[in-house]
Amino acid sequence: MGAQKMSLKVMQLRQALDRQYGQTILGGFQQALYRCLPNAACLVAVLLALAVPGLVPQPAFAQSNDERGIRVGPSGLALPRFVSLKSNRVNVRVGPGREYDIAWIFVKGGLPVEVFQESDNWRRIRDAAGNSGWVFNSLLSGRRTALVTPWASAAEPLPLYRERSPGAKLNARLETGVLLSIDECDGEWCRADLRDSSNKSFRGYVQQNKLWGVYPNEEFDD
């Protein structure tokens, strides 16, 4: 196999791993992949190493503030952080620029995404499924939203309580994947708002650890 074909396969591998794990293969693995070209046996050894559990980072769907390793990005804002999609159509690209190919397109506004990397006016985001790509900053909003237990395919409906207590009266029961607007969170409970198909509004409190779009012990008040 020629070096050019092998290089293409390496790039395809990196893109596949990026889609699966939500982040680029960094450091030693990336360097090893390129040092191996065009040695097929060497490449196989690196790929076997990548298959060992724990050597490749897994996407984190519900990290606490301490676990996520907060740092300040070039914009002066925290990384990682949750934001939401401002537009009903958002192109997600494979790199930080319009010259890069479109990986996929969001067609629903308001969805929560996690920003974990910045490059000029571009933000690298991760969605609830662990897919990652680059989005132009102006297409993102600081308005907080969340999805109800997107990691569970057949979870029990999530209670929306009138007060911050599991003994409070119910306002609604929320199915998996329901999109909520989040007004505030105190580390255990979030005040949420949603509208049904008839535009009827429901507001109340949900358990914070049942949401994707806020961190388990994050506290904020919009």
Q: Which of 27-41, 45-59, 205-219 has the highest mean pLDDT?
A: 205-219
Domain ranges of the chain: 3-50, 71-143, 147-221
The pLDDT value given to residue 5: 44
Provide mean pLDDT across the span 188-201: 88
Mean pLDDT confidence for 66-88: 90
Helix/strand/coil for 13? helix
Q: Do domains 71-143 and 147-221 have the same CATH topology?
A: yes
Pick the CATH number of 147-221 from 2.30.30.40, 2.60.120.10, 3.30.470.10, 2.30.40.10: 2.30.30.40
Yes or no: say if 10 and 17 are a contact pair by the CB < 8 Å rule.
no
The pLDDT of residue 39 is 52
The CATH superfamily label for domain 71-143 reads: SH3 Domains (2.30.30.40)
Residues 196-209 have a mean pLDDT of 89
Does residue 98 register a pLDDT over 80? yes
User: 43-75 as b/e, with b when 16 or more CB fall inside 10 Å?
Assistant: beebeeebeeeeeeeebbeebeeeebeeeebee
pLDDT at 73: 94
| Alpha carbons 87 and 137: distance in angstroms, whole number | 11
Q: How far apart are CA 74 and CA 115, in angstroms?
A: 12
What are 108-131's pLDDT values in tens digits? 999 999 999 999 999 999 999 999
Taking residues 77-85, report their average pLDDT: 97
Q: 199 versus 179: which is more confidently predicted? A: 179
Reported residue count of the chain is 222
Q: Is the pLDDT of residue 2 over 80?
A: no
